[in-house]
Amino acid sequence: MKVHDTPATLIVLIVAQSLCAAFFLWDVLRDGLVLGWPPFVHWHFMVEAFAVLALIAGVVFEAGALMRLLRRKAWLERQVSVAAGALHAVMEAQFNDWSLTPSEADVATLAIKGMTISEIAALRGSAEGTVKSHLGSVYRKAGLSGRGALLAHFIESLLDHPALDKP
């Protein structure tokens, strides 16, 4: 994550803009006192007053937008956590239904995560032929045609999961 993408950076900028807005508001009010009543007849005062009000409105809008984004981010993080947990539970249940051995389940999990056969073999410390054999057994027991069908099976299961609610 880049430094300028963090909420803390945006908060610092909003605080700096708020301080600038406070300074300019104080300056406009002081100018209004110097000009006498009514200061609204002076065009320079009106331009400065409008600029200050626009700056204050911008700060309020930015703060509200940041709060909405932070709430949305928190909700999305919760949903990803729910989805990850749901996917894991769905995979375990399905692997049990298919009567996969622990090795087959492990290889299937790594394949679903997107690892190649050689990566799975290296991670498990086994030969590529063994991994291919395990995957073939998984596809046969599951009645699926290959890795894409295996992944699609679990994506469909996850999309139909009732624990994933809408915002």
pLDDT tens, residue by residue, 105-141: 999 999 999 999 999 999 999 999 999 999 999 999 9
**At 4, is the pLDDT very low, low, confident or very high (cuts 50, 70, 90)?**
low
- Is pLDDT above 70 for 62? yes
Q: The pTM is what?
A: 0.52
| Percent helix, strand and coil across the chain, each to the nearest 5 | 80, 0, 20
**What's the pLDDT score for residue 167?**
45
Helix (H, G, I), strand (E, B) or coil at 143: coil
**For the ranges 26-30, 81-85, 143-147, the one whose mean pLDDT is highest:** 143-147
The residue behind tokens 């709060």 is: 67
In 3D, which of 74, 153, 147 has the Cα closest to residue 111?
147
The residue behind tokens 């622990």 is: 102
> How far is 62 from 145, CA to CA, in rounded Å?
51
Contact indicator for 150, 108 with CB cutoff of 8 Å = yes
Give the angle subtended at the CA of 85 by the CAs of 81 and 88, to the nearest 5°: 140
